[in-house]
Amino acid sequence: MIDIKLIRTNPELVKENIKKKFQDSKLELVDKVADLDKQYRTVKQECDDLRNKVNTMSKKIGSLKAQGKDDEAEKIKAEVSEIGTILTEKEPVEAKLEAYIREIMLVIPNIIDESVPIGKDDSENVEVEKFGEPFVPDFEVPYHVDIMENLNGIDIDSARKTSGNGFYYLCGDIALLQSAILSYARDFMVDRGFTYYIPPFMIRSDVVTGVMSFAEMEGMMYKIEGEDLYLIGTSEHSMIGKFIDTIIPESELPKTLTSYSPCFRKEVGAHGIEERGVYRIHQFEKQEMIVVCKPEDSMEWFKKLYTNTVDFFRSLDIPVRTLECCSGDLADLKVKSIDVEAWSPRQKKYFEVGSCSNLGDAQARRLGIKVKAKDKSKYFAHTLNNTVVAPPRMLIAFLENNLNEDGSIRIPEALQRYMRKEVIKK
């Protein structure tokens, strides 16, 4: 959510930003908010004046009664009563306008960074840098499910019976491999100075609307029937929500956190759910990194975060590249975003395994996350998040890039102490 002062002082900037995101249908919302804001400020001023008058007169009543001037006190009491009647009519209008403005403001996209490339959709995202040499072996690389089935490591048919499409059982060494990768990711981030968390896996609606846009929420979140709770789609939701309505001393920043959680997603959209595959599914596990920092530090942390993911994948001998998301591919809350993509020897192309986002003060403004400066002034923090690793997508990249011709999987040195073996065989 942007600062409404931007609409008051520079509505054309807000409109230009909407155009850069190819969301022209939202242009009319800027003028609508500007008009509603004028109405709201007028009504609020009237209500504030009346409330101040009531407070002043109420104190006077007490003083007059103490002096034994009951008649004068009763006279003023009657005036207070009249003002109260007027307030009873005006305050609901004030509250309704305030709520309506917030509802619209939640839909207006955040101001993107000047460095973001302009483009309509993900087809216009821009490659930034490659790390490691993409390699295609001289033998055929099977489909990832075939690799796992050959190692007795996955059972999709049974999961379809118990839960439907988009679920799977991992077993044996493949299940151990997933756990090993997550354990390594945890230690990798702790070694880089991040504090490890296991957060709640359900959050309330006010946190959901604080951390993501309505469009994302509708396409991702599972609602718990009969309760004000949603299953998290990523631990970022719980971890940013942890700071709701808090004032953080500036001396305590940055907050650098890394969190493990299962993730639950509807995956509503064009891609759908694969019947036989684990690339896009309803349930998976993930290690995340989250930073809460001062505004002037957020771009520096942005680079550090996606570099962490690149370094993690390279430590496991997986070639990756970074891809900058263009304006039309950015979610409404994001200022800037970079995807990390891993090399697929089977497909001979890269595919997304993580996403790093700088959300500016959008989440902080929605959730009331403020920083208290040394001079006692307060301002909204900046929040960032990034994927360390998210099996099973990571498993696909890992298996394809570490596959031997006989179907076995070599274990890179960094992971051997977690797997307690150097190779996975049938």
Structure tokens at 264: 């639950």
Which domains, from first to last, does the chain contain? 4-105 (1.10.287.40), 122-424 (3.30.930.10)
Name the more confident of 210 and 268.
210
Q: Model confidence over 281-323: pLDDT tens digits? A: 899 999 999 999 999 999 999 999 999 999 999 999 999 999 9
Sorted by sequence, the CB contacts under 8 Å of residue 262 that are 6+ apart come out as 201, 283, 284, 285, 286
CA distance 154 to 146: 9
pLDDT given for residue 270 in this prediction: 43
Q: SS3 for 85?
A: helix
CA distance 187 to 304: 17
Residue written as token pair 């993930």: 286
Decide if pLDDT at 59 tops 90. no
Are the C-beta atoms of 258 and 239 separated by less than 8 Å? no
Least confident of 101-105, 211-215, 385-389, 398-402: 211-215
Sorted by sequence, the CB contacts under 8 Å of residue 385 that are 6+ apart come out as 234, 236, 239, 240, 288, 289, 290, 291, 305, 356, 357, 359
pLDDT given for residue 271 in this prediction: 52
Residue written as token pair 């679920």: 167
Are the C-beta atoms of 284 and 233 separated by less than 8 Å? no
Q: SS3 for 230?
A: strand
pLDDT > 90: percent of the chain: 85
End-to-end CA distance of the chain: 52
State the DSSP code for 403.
B
Structure tokens at 224: 């718990």
Mean pLDDT of the chain: 94
Q: Model confidence over 69-112: pLDDT tens digits? A: 888 888 888 988 999 999 999 999 999 999 999 999 999 999 99
Neighbour-count burial of 55, counting CB atoms closer than 10 A to its CB (0-12 exposed, 13-18 middle, 19+ buried): exposed
Residue written as token pair 């460095």: 115
Q: Model confidence over 372-397: pLDDT tens digits? A: 999 999 999 999 999 999 988 999 99
Query: 128 falls in which pLDDT band (50, 70, 90)?
Result: very high
| Residue 215: how many other CB atoms lie within 10 Å | 11
Q: Model confidence over 20-46: pLDDT tens digits? A: 999 999 999 999 999 999 999 999 999
